Structure 1
Amino acid sequence: MSDALLAHRPRLNPIAGPILGEFLLTLTVAFAGLWLASHESDAAGGAFGMVAQMQETMYVVFRVLAIGLGVVITQALGGGQVDAARRTALGALGASTWAGLLVVASLLIGDDWALEALNAPDEVKTLAGPFLMLLAPAMLLDAYNLSMAAILRAHLHVKESLRVMVVMHVTHLVLAFVLMRGIGGWDGWGLNGYAVAMIVSRAIGLVLHLALWKRLMRLEPTPRDWVVVHWRLVRPVLWIGGPGAVVEVVYRAMFMVSLASTARLGVEALATHAYTLQILKYVLLVSNSIGWATEIMVGRMVGAGELKKADALVRKGVRNGLLASGGLALMCALAAPWLMHAFTKDPAIVHSAQVLLWLSVLLETGRVFNLVLNGALRATGDAIFPAVSCIASLLLVLGLGSFWMGRWFGLPGIWLVYASDEWIRGMLILWRWLKRGWLAQARSTQRRVRGSAS
């Protein structure tokens, strides 16, 4: 779809569809890994889920780059600054290298401390420690893949980005099945096989991304691009991605408090938590893809000065997200007895997860506002307000609330806290959008883009 057509008839589906495919592939591999781990034991399933949450916490560093890159490049392209977009893309590689090395070092040095802080049961800790160590190298490769994919999507090469993800994740899935379960007389490596498969698949993804950069955007990184951080180019990226990353850091920290509260309830509760969250990831991926597509389109519209069209598109994105996530959450709650049998036959876990999935109808509809509106506000340049306004809810509701509600009401109490936090934060940023608090930032961004072009 051409930029001219997008300017006159902005549509979310052509952008959101391929992004949805990427998210679906990512979740399917994680779902398969959890399924394979759960068939070893509930302890292995709990270890997989706990490590997955630790990974998500570390991915915050990469999202600073991916989020900021997407916004800065879409704004530049919307304003016709192709050369500036190219320079920013190349400048992101050095930043990705150092961000990836920082995460790898954190995982290798702090794994034992993190598992202790999360109250991991001994049988979970024994499995999670080696698994986490093996995942560390894959995280460095993911730093590159996430940044390079964000840049492809910002140039509207969403179908090509999807093709890379198909190859990468299918490779991961096939290798994980063989390396975890074994073949013939070989018993496999269990959880560690998933990590080895991830390393191989991410290396393939990097090679494919480099080929697409060369073919579609005529970008060929030099050795210097991989190690040198060009702060003049990276500074606007950090300005956009930084506030969101602060929120993400606080969110992940408070979520870890809820995970520690869950672990205190025992292996059964930890496994239930992991299985339910894995199912819910499929629910949120639709509104998540709408949010990413909205951010890309709004960034371009702001760069081009199409502010009224941006407002209309955001409202449409929220509406579509509510319908999609609400409907999917309801379907999952109704199908809970059958869905949970994919992971466990324990009737107590199945019953507990069913209760959580019914509560998740409330959780997922509240989450829509955060997924769609946060990205839209960032794309206008209004990155500070959503960050500052959400921190109190994260600390007091998600963090403190999880600690006490988990003690008083168990897992259902923790789930009610999740829903309350999403709705409080969502209503704050909805108020910001409806009251046009973002307009001043959008106009300032537009002036900056035009000034850079002159």
Structure 2
Amino acid sequence: MKPAHKPMPQSRVLDKGIWGMSRPMFLDQAVTYTIPLIDMYFLSRISDSAAAAVGAITPLVFVANAFLIVSAFAGASIASQRIGANDYLRGNATIAAYAIFVVVLALIAALAVNHGGPWVASAMSLSGEVEQHARTYLSIIGWMVALWGCRVIYQTILNIYGEPQWNTYSNIILFGVNIIGNAIAVYGFMGIPPSGVVGVAIASIVAAGASLLFVVVIVHFKLRIHIPLHEGWKNFSVLMAPVLMIAAPSVLEPMSFQAYMIALNWIAAEVGDLALKVKVYAYNTFLFCLMISIALGMATEAIIAQRVGRKEFDLVDKQLKQSLKIALIGTTTLALMWLVFNQSILKMFSNDPEVIAIGVWAFALSFLAEPWRTVNIVVGGALRCAGDATFTSVSSIAVIWLFSVPLAYALAIPLGFGLYGLLIAAILDELLRALIKGWRWKQGKWMHTGIAAREARAA
């Protein structure tokens, strides 16, 4: 008598719904966005220059991370659409294909950051001490990017199968190891001397490795999800074709946005070291507000992708409106708390009275950008996971480089508004891109861009 086969794990996304999927993701994102604040705090214990240096070039690391994250999430949206249509064989094969793709990209990204990053830091208008810290950090941190890229593969697998709580535990491990490593790097421990910026970078790599190991064990040994790598490799080009139709345009928008952040930091450095420090403190603090919109956005994408696979378009539209309403209320409330307690927050990082004085207005202007940024994240993610990526990405890139960057430079330097000019330009950038994404969703083109609709037209 043959032993009975263990049934294939089934996705629980639609059973859990928006609250079941998003609850663990809130904590997941809270931990993720606390990490830059923790790093900034420990770096500020070294000096304001160390914190400003790493803050100034952090967008370069985010560019590499975004490159990997968007590629993985594009693959996940196609896999989710197939699983939503109950085609688990092709869904899992798609996961295998994009996993292979992302691992290769992760190695390329690591080498690019480690070897190209110091050159970028030299090209920015940073003062001598700030530039040296930035070059040191970038020459090491690329390996964290590679480990993060491998980890995001498993993050998407857990989201596809409706098990996002394991990503939360992974992030708690990341957070704990990162704090311990940072503390050792800055203060030393049991005969280990302080290692400054080098130690902070190494702590990030060790933390990323520990969290990756955890999700690998969960996916393969706890949940026993089988990823057919042989099938993914054998049919790589066929499986990746629809993924690249989403990934190719989608990856350009976050990369373009982070390049925009680097451009703003360059302009801030032109204004002066004080403007750069305040900009870094305000921007990194308000990054924490993204945890709500990103958590809801990720949960919404998982649900929408499966519903698009089932052609339940009315439910898709209803889901987006519900998610956007919740995200706007939550993000605005959190951003308002940051604005109210801006003095206490700034004093955690700096004792410079000029930084604290200017920071009040920097926080106020950053607050005004948050609702529009929320719309960009939630609606933009919904458009991409439904397959409508090209217009969304191209329009956003056009706004950034034809409108926002020239405006930021003109307001900051020729017109003399300095840091405030940069932040005003950032508000208008988020506003214009949000209006375009909202208009595109209402047009309904996304109903005809999913994998099922494309394959039906091809047939």
TM-score by length of 1: 0.92
How many residue pairs were aligned?
447
1:182 is displaced (CA, Å) by: 0.9
Q: Which amino acid aligns with 1:124?
A: V
CA contact (8 A) 2:339 2:363 kept: yes
Q: Which amino acid aligns with 1:428?
A: I
Q: 1:410 aligns with which of 418, 441, 444?
A: 418
Is residue 18 from structure 1 mapped to residue 49 from structure 2 by the alignment? no
Q: 2:370 aligns with which of 364, 371, 374?
A: 364
1:439 is displaced (CA, Å) by: 2.3
**Residues 5 and 338 of structure 1: is their aligned pair in 2 closer, same or farther, counting only changes over 3 Å?**
closer
- C-alpha distance in 2 between matches for 1:203 and 1:451: 43
- C-alpha distance in 2 between matches for 1:75 and 1:300: 5
Q: 1:421 aligns with which of 406, 429, 436?
A: 429
- C-alpha distance in 1 between matches for 2:412 and 2:231: 48
- Give the equivalent residue in structure 2 for 1:59: 65
1:230 is displaced (CA, Å) by: 2.4
Residue correspondence of structure 1 range 126-141 to structure 2 within 5 A: 126-141=132-147
CA contact (8 A) 2:283 2:366 kept: no
CA contact (8 A) 1:47 1:128 kept: yes
1:220 is displaced (CA, Å) by: 5.8
Q: 2:154 aligns with which of 142, 148, 156?
A: 148
Q: Which amino acid aligns with 2:130?
A: V
SS in 1 for 2:176: helix
Is residue 106 from structure 1 mapped to residue 112 from structure 2 by the alignment? yes
- C-alpha distance in 2 between matches for 1:227 and 1:403: 47
CA contact (8 A) 2:92 2:228 kept: no
Is residue 317 from structure 1 mapped to residue 294 from structure 2 by the alignment? no
- C-alpha distance in 2 between matches for 1:244 and 1:220: 25
- Give the equivalent residue in structure 2 for 1:341: 347
Q: Which amino acid aligns with 1:431?
A: W
Is residue 351 from structure 1 mapped to residue 351 from structure 2 by the alignment? no
User: Is the deviation greater in 96-105 or in 208-217?
Assistant: 208-217
Q: Which amino acid aligns with 2:259?
A: A
CA contact (8 A) 1:19 1:289 kept: yes
Q: Which amino acid aligns with 1:167?
A: I
- C-alpha distance in 2 between matches for 1:4 and 1:125: 48
CA contact (8 A) 2:12 2:162 kept: no
Q: 2:438 aligns with which of 430, 439, 453?
A: 430
TM-score by length of 2: 0.91
- C-alpha distance in 2 between matches for 1:26 and 1:227: 32
- C-alpha distance in 1 between matches for 2:232 and 2:86: 26
User: Is the deviation greater in 108-117 or in 405-414?
Assistant: 108-117
Q: 1:48 aligns with which of 50, 54, 78?
A: 54
- Give the equivalent residue in structure 2 for 1:95: 101
User: Unpaired runs of 5+ in structure 2?
Assistant: 1-9
SS in 1 for 2:418: helix
- C-alpha distance in 2 between matches for 1:357 and 1:237: 39
1:82 is displaced (CA, Å) by: 0.9
- C-alpha distance in 2 between matches for 1:298 and 1:196: 38
- Give the equivalent residue in structure 2 for 1:254: 260
Q: Which amino acid aligns with 2:44?
A: S
- Give the equivalent residue in structure 2 for 1:281: 287
Could you list the structure 1 runs, at least 4 aligned residues long, displaced by more than 4 angstroms after superposition: 2-5, 224-229, 448-452
Deviations 1:155-199 (A, max 9, x none): 111012222222232122222212232124544111111211122
**Residues 267 and 375 of structure 1: is their aligned pair in 2 closer, same or farther, counting only changes over 3 Å?**
same
- C-alpha distance in 2 between matches for 1:229 and 1:82: 15
1:282 is displaced (CA, Å) by: 1.2
- C-alpha distance in 1 between matches for 2:379 and 2:65: 21
Identity %: 22
- C-alpha distance in 2 between matches for 1:368 and 1:381: 20
- Give the equivalent residue in structure 2 for 1:38: 44
CA contact (8 A) 2:53 2:130 kept: yes
Is residue 218 from structure 1 mapped to residue 235 from structure 2 by the alignment? no
SS in 1 for 2:46: coil
Q: Which amino acid aligns with 1:426?
A: A
Q: Which amino acid aligns with 2:91?
A: A
- C-alpha distance in 2 between matches for 1:113 and 1:225: 40
User: Is the deviation greater in 157-166 or in 422-431?
Assistant: 157-166
CA contact (8 A) 2:106 2:146 kept: yes
- Give the equivalent residue in structure 2 for 1:123: 129
CA contact (8 A) 2:109 2:146 kept: yes
**Residues 267 and 29 of structure 1: is their aligned pair in 2 closer, same or farther, counting only changes over 3 Å?**
same
- Give the equivalent residue in structure 2 for 1:291: 297
- Give the equivalent residue in structure 2 for 1:167: 173
1:415 is displaced (CA, Å) by: 0.5
Deviations 1:375-400 (A, max 9, x none): 11112211122112222211123211
- C-alpha distance in 1 between matches for 2:107 and 2:231: 16
Q: 1:27 aligns with which of 33, 55, 58?
A: 33
1:233 is displaced (CA, Å) by: 2.2
**Residues 228 and 251 of structure 1: is their aligned pair in 2 closer, same or farther, counting only changes over 3 Å?**
farther
SS in 2 for 1:39: helix
**Residues 23 and 381 of structure 1: is their aligned pair in 2 closer, same or farther, counting only changes over 3 Å?**
same
- Give the equivalent residue in structure 1 for 2:3: none
- C-alpha distance in 2 between matches for 1:152 and 1:115: 36
**Residues 331 and 197 of structure 1: is their aligned pair in 2 closer, same or farther, counting only changes over 3 Å?**
same
1:86 is displaced (CA, Å) by: 1.3
- What is the Cα-based RMSD across aligned positions, in Å? 2.4
- C-alpha distance in 2 between matches for 1:59 and 1:226: 23
1:85 is displaced (CA, Å) by: 1.7
SS in 2 for 1:342: helix
Is residue 235 from structure 1 mapped to residue 244 from structure 2 by the alignment? no
CA contact (8 A) 1:62 1:100 kept: yes
Deviations 1:394-430 (A, max 9, x none): 1123211122222121111101111101110100110
Is residue 158 from structure 1 mapped to residue 160 from structure 2 by the alignment? no
Q: Which amino acid aligns with 2:372?
A: G
**Residues 173 and 225 of structure 1: is their aligned pair in 2 closer, same or farther, counting only changes over 3 Å?**
farther
**Residues 185 and 105 of structure 1: is their aligned pair in 2 closer, same or farther, counting only changes over 3 Å?**
closer
- Give the equivalent residue in structure 1 for 2:379: 373
- C-alpha distance in 2 between matches for 1:352 and 1:326: 22
